[in-house]
């Protein structure tokens, strides 16, 4: 019957992408929603502390429930459906014991505990419905049997009853009282008025963040890093290009530079070098490549935030831009894998920010900014050769700015000299910093150059390639 | 006909640009008219716009030059687009607040929560669309003694077969070209260049090569769906007596593979 029920629910999986996505979303996201609900109840600030006490009891119920599960797993093992070769598996999972479901226990424990307290009964009923769908979604995704969920409900109901009973009595009651009193004391210190409603508290927190740029950037960095660091757990394979990077890094780490670049002579060396260096420190090349991408992808937020702040002149718009970049699925996807794009984007946008600062600088000392922009841009080009494009873009931007000044009858003489000197400095810095890299690759099979040698062939191809052959290239991809 | 006059190529290019940005950013940008009107004199805005336009122009040149083009090439545009979309949030929140009589802060919280949940699900959705990419090398590895490096011959060349099977000995097989066999020589301009192994092509040549690799574990991974070998070619290959089918693999997108092992070893 267990298998039949499982097959009944799981047979709906794998037929429709939208249904699958809903099922996976329910199976994965519901615990986070429940955590958000508990936080809301804690901070909702009702005068009698009933909601806060109920949230505490719900959290304790979840801990009790999961502890009971741990004990059960010690004495009883039941294989998961995918281990037995049953059904369609939509989410990855370790092949540990199936009974009871930790997810379902977590959800039902919280829901049951909230139902038991009068002040949060409404939330509890809603949570119970969501817990039901969240748990069924685990069966739908092929990682649990139906009886695992039923067993979890039993464990949850018992642990919720225990937690609810003891949340205001004995040692647990005293710990809860102490936690609430401590929070209230901190609350008065931070907000001043302890009676502030929830949305005013959120506004206060947001205003605080926006007034303190460093906190905003730090919060966005934490968010970006968290999602990027989670990405490798959801991907079961290395990227196609990643294989080449790993092989090259292994060759470099073993000191065989020639063999490394013989695999792809025009490969820009910086990302590979960083992977090889990390390998030298005891990390394997694949993890090193992944971590470099995660860190660079998270740090990308800093130049994006600073550029947006310069463009819009407001911290809130910059924070929104940072938020969109922090959670952009495409950027997360390239950041959590062995790919060089995140490192390239970090250097490219850092160079763009320095260029904007250099253009804004009215003093001759600003030339240093042009030089730094050139060096950072070289780093970008040493990750992806496309980086060199920013030199051309900088020249275009300077010409545009001078033309606008001329059209508006503003004096351009001094500014034109300064910007042209700046551009020359940027190009020289770019070229000069490429020399040590070129020197270290001299005599090896590497053909990397600071200026992409494929540019003439692209231009020639643009004028000569027929649409049919371009379409054929597209079709083969 | 030149590439820039091909409507189909333009549609593919525009589709790729559109796929590089997300609905929330498009919605923000639609509401950012007021913000841009306020900052239209900003030099930083002009430079960022020049950067985005030039970047797209360069990408267009590369795309229309007929070079293999990955969606990742649009990532600078993706970041630039998100950067500009940042200016649209406040007008959007104001608009929604006046229409729904809900405070701007609540609108903000709801919008950000929706984006955070939607984007996180999209970004962290587990990808399991090519299970054979690891299952086939795992099978090969299980059939090969630990100290030996297997030889993989395939009409679908993906370096990950070798990576997961712990071998660098990959040979490209082209049944449509009379079973021609190629080995990777070098890369040039992003493309892998292959050199033909033998002139005497045909199944005989393949058989000869395998027996030349005496005492090695040789496997053939044959893609057998509409993009791979035809049923006639599969039958022709399976007529070799020294070959046995190990396992068949398929995924939800209809890609089908067959793993063959050669019994050429002396052990």
3-state secondary structure string across chain A: CHHHHHHHHHCCCCCCHHHHHHHHHHHHHHHHHHHHHHHHHHHCCCCCCHHHHHHHHHHHHHHHHHHHHHHHHHHCCCCCCCCCCCCCCCCCCCCCCCCCCHHHHHHHHHHHHHHHCHHHHHHHHHHHHHHHHHHHHHHHCCCCCHHHHHHHHHHHHHHHHHHHHHCCCHHHHHHHHHHHHHHHHHHHHHHCCCCCCHHHHHHHHHHHHHHCHHHHHHHHHHHHHHHHHHHHHHECCCCHHHHHHHHHHHHHHCCCHHHHHHCCCCCCCHHHHHHHHHHHCCCCHHHHHHHHHHHHHHHCHHHHHHHHHHHHCCHHHHHHHHHHHHCCHHHHHHHCCCCCHHHHHHHHHHHHHHHHHHHHCCCHHHHHHHHHHHHHHHHHHCCCHHHHHHHHHHHHHHHHHHHHHHHCCCCCHHHHHHHHHHHHHHHHHHHHHHHHHHHHHCCCCCCCCCCCCCHHHHHHHHHHCEHHHHHHHHHHC
- Asked if A85 has any chain B CB less than 8 Å from its own CB, the reply is no
Residue B9: which of A246, A321, A470 has the nearest Cβ?
A470
Task: State residue B259's pLDDT score.
Answer: 92
Q: Out of A104-113, A268-277, B57-66, which region has the weakest mean confidence (pLDDT)?
A: B57-66
Under an 8 A CB cutoff, do A264 and B187 touch?
Answer: yes
For chain B, say whether A328 makes contact (Cβ under 8 Å): yes
Q: Express as a percent the part of chain A with pLDDT over 70.
A: 96
**Which pLDDT score is estimated for A474?**
61
- Tokens coding A457: 């062939």
pLDDT of residue B200: 57
| More confident of the two residues B185 and A334 | A334
**Residue ranges of the alpha helices (H) in chain B?**
7-19, 23-30, 33-38, 43-64, 75-85, 89-100, 104-124, 132-142, 159-165, 203-212, 231-238
pLDDT tens-digit profile of A273-327?
999 998 777 888 999 999 999 999 999 999 999 999 999 998 889 999 999 999 9
Whether A462 and chain B come into contact, CB under 8 Å, resolves to yes
Residue A27 clears pLDDT 50, i.e. is over it: yes
The minimum CA-CA distance between B118 and chain A, rounded to whole Å, is 9
What parts of chain B have a pLDDT lower than 50? 189, 266-267
Backbone angles phi, psi at B221, to 5 degrees: -105, 115
* Chain A stretch 229-258, residues whose beta carbon is closer than 8 A to a beta carbon of chain B: 230-231, 234-238, 240, 243-244, 246-247
Decide if B124 and A463 are in contact by the 8 Å CB cutoff.
no
A222 CB within 8 Å of a chain B CB: no
> How far is B143 from B218, CA to CA, in rounded Å?
10
d(CA B201, CA B208): 10
pLDDT of A477 > 70? The answer is: no
Cα-based torsion angle of the residue sequence B28, B32, B33, B36 in order, rounded to the nearest 10 degrees: -150
- Residues A139-164: pLDDT tens digits? 998 889 989 999 999 999 999 999 98
CA A321 to chain centre: 15
Kindly determine whether residue B105 and residue A404, on different chains, have CB atoms separated by under 8 Å: no
Q: What is the pLDDT of residue B266?
A: 44
- Name the residue ranges covered by the structural domains of chain B: 3-124, 132-262
Tokens of A297: 């992808």
Mean of the pLDDT values across residues A84-108?
A: 84
Backbone torsions φ then ψ of A263, nearest 5 degrees: -70, -35
Q: Does A90 touch chain B (CB under 8 A)?
A: yes
Q: Does A107 score more than 90 pLDDT? A: yes
Q: How many CA atoms lie within 13 A of B207 on its CB side?
A: 11
Range in A373-377, A412-416, B49-53 with the lowest mean pLDDT: A412-416
* Cβ pair B86:A320 closer than 8 A: yes
pLDDT digits (tens, 9 = 90+) for A218-244: 999 999 999 999 888 877 788 888 999
A33 versus A15: the higher-pLDDT residue is A33
Look at residue A203 and tell me whether its pLDDT is greater than 80. no
Q: What is the pLDDT of residues A417-435, one digit of tens each?
A: 889 999 999 999 999 999 9
Contacts of B16 in chain A (CB under 8 A): none
Which residue segments constitute the domains of chain A, with CATH numbers given?
2-210 (1.20.144), 213-476 (no CATH)
Rounded Cα distance between A19 and A25, Å, is 10
Name the CA dihedral angle for B158, B162, B165, B171, rounded to a multiple of 10 degrees: 100
Tokens of B255: 């890609």
Both tokens of A273, joined, read: 């070098």
Residues facing A44 on adjacent strands:
none
In the sheet where B170-174 sits, what is the strand order? B191-196, B180-188, B170-174, B151-154, B218-223, B256-262, B243-250
What does the mean pLDDT of chain A come to? 87
Closest CA to A148 of A85, A82, A92, A69: A69
Give the pLDDT confidence score for residue B264 in this predicted structure.
56
pLDDT of residue B217: 84
Any chain B CB within 8 A of the CB of A355? yes
Residue of B nearest to A466 (CA): B2
A residues 271-290 closer than 8 Å to B (CB): none
Spacing of C-alpha B74 from chain mean position: 14
Count of A–B CB contacts within 8 Å? 258
């Amino acid at each position: 019957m267990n298998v039949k029920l499982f097959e009944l629910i799981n047979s709906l999986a794998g037929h429709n992408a939208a249904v699958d996505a809903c099922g996976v979303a329910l199976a994965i996201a519901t615990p986070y929603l429940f955590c958000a609900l508990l936080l809301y109840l804690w901070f909702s600030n009702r005068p009698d502390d009933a909601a806060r006490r109920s949230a505490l009891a719900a959290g304790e119920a979840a801990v009790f429930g999961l502890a009971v599960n741990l004990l059960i797993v010690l004495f009883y093992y039941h294989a998961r459906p995918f281990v037995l070769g049953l059904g369609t598996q939509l989410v990855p999972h370790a092949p540990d014991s199936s009974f009871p479901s930790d997810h379902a226990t977590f959800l039902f424990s919280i829901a049951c505990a909230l139902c038991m307290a009068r002040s949060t009964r409404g939330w509890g009923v809603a949570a119970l419905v969501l817990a039901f769908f969240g748990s069924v979604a685990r069966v739908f995704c092929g990682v649990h049997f139906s009886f695992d969920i039923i067993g979890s409900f039993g464990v949850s109901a018992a642990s919720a009853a225990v937690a609810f009973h003891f949340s205001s009595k004995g040692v647990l009651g005293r710990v809860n009282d102490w936690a609430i009193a401590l929070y209230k004391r901190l609350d008065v210190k931070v907000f001043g008025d302890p009676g502030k409603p929830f949305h005013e508290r959120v506004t206060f927190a947001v205003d605080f963040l926006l007034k303190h740029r460093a906190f905003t950037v730090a919060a966005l960095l934490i968010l970006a890093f968290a999602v990027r660091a989670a990405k490798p757990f959801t991907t079961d394979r290395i990227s196609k290009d990643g294989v080449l990077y790993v092989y090259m890094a292994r060759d470099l780490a073993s000191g065989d530079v020639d063999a490394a670049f013989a695999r792809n002579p025009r490969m820009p060396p910086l990302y590979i070098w960083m992977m090889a260096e990390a390998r030298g420190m005891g990390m394997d090349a694949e993890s090193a490549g992944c971590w470099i991408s995660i860190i660079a992808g998270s740090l990308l937020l800093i130049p994006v935030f600073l550029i947006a702040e310069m463009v819009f002149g407001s911290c809130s718009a910059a924070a929104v831009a940072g938020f969109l970049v922090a959670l952009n699925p495409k950027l997360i996807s390239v950041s959590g894998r062995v790919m060089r794009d995140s490192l390239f984007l970090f250097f490219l946008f850092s160079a763009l920010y320095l260029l904007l600062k250099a253009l804004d600088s009215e003093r001759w000392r600003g030339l240093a900014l042009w030089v730094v922009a050139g060096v950072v841009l070289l780093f970008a080009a040493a990750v992806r050769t496309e980086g060199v494009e920013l030199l051309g873009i900088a020249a275009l931007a300077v010409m545009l700015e001078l033309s606008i000044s001329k059209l508006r009858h503003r004096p351009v003489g001094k500014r034109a000299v300064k910007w042209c000197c700046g551009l020359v400095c940027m190009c020289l810095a770019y070229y000069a910093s490429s020399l040590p890299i070129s020197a270290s690759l001299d005599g090896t099979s590497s053909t990397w150059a600071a200026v992409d040698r494929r540019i003439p062939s692209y231009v020639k191809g643009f004028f000569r390639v027929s649409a049919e052959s371009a379409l054929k290239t597209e079709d083969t991809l | 006909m030149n590439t820039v006059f091909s409507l189909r190529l333009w549609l593919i290019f525009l589709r790729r640009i559109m796929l590089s940005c997300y609905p929330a950013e498009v919605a923000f940008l639609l509401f950012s008219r007021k913000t841009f009107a306020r900052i239209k004199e900003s030099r930083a805005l002009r430079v960022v716009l020049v950067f985005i336009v030039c970047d797209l122009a360069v990408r267009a040149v590369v795309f229309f030059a007929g070079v293999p083009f990955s969606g990742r090439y649009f990532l600078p545009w993706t970041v630039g687009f998100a950067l500009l979309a940042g200016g649209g949030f406040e007008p959007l929140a104001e608009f929604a607040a006046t229409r729904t009589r809900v405070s701007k802060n609540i609108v903000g919280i709801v919008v950000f929560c929706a984006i955070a949940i939607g984007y996180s699900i999209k970004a962290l959705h587990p990808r399991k669309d090519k299970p054979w990419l690891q299952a086939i090398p795992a099978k090969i590895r299980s059939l090969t003694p630990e100290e030996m490096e297997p030889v993989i011959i395939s009409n679908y060349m993906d370096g990950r077969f070798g990576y997961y099977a712990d071998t660098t000995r990959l040979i490209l097989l082209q049944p449509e070209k009379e079973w021609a066999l190629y080995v990777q020589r070098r890369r040039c301009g992003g493309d892998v260049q292959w050199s033909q192994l033998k002139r005497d092509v045909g199944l005989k040549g393949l058989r000869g090569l395998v027996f030349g690799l005496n005492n090695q574990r040789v496997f053939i991974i044959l893609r057998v769906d509409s993009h791979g070998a035809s049923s006639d070619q599969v039958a022709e290959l399976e007529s070799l007596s020294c070959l046995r089918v190990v396992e068949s693999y398929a995924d939800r997108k209809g890609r089908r593979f067959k793993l063959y092992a050669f019994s050429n070893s002396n052990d």
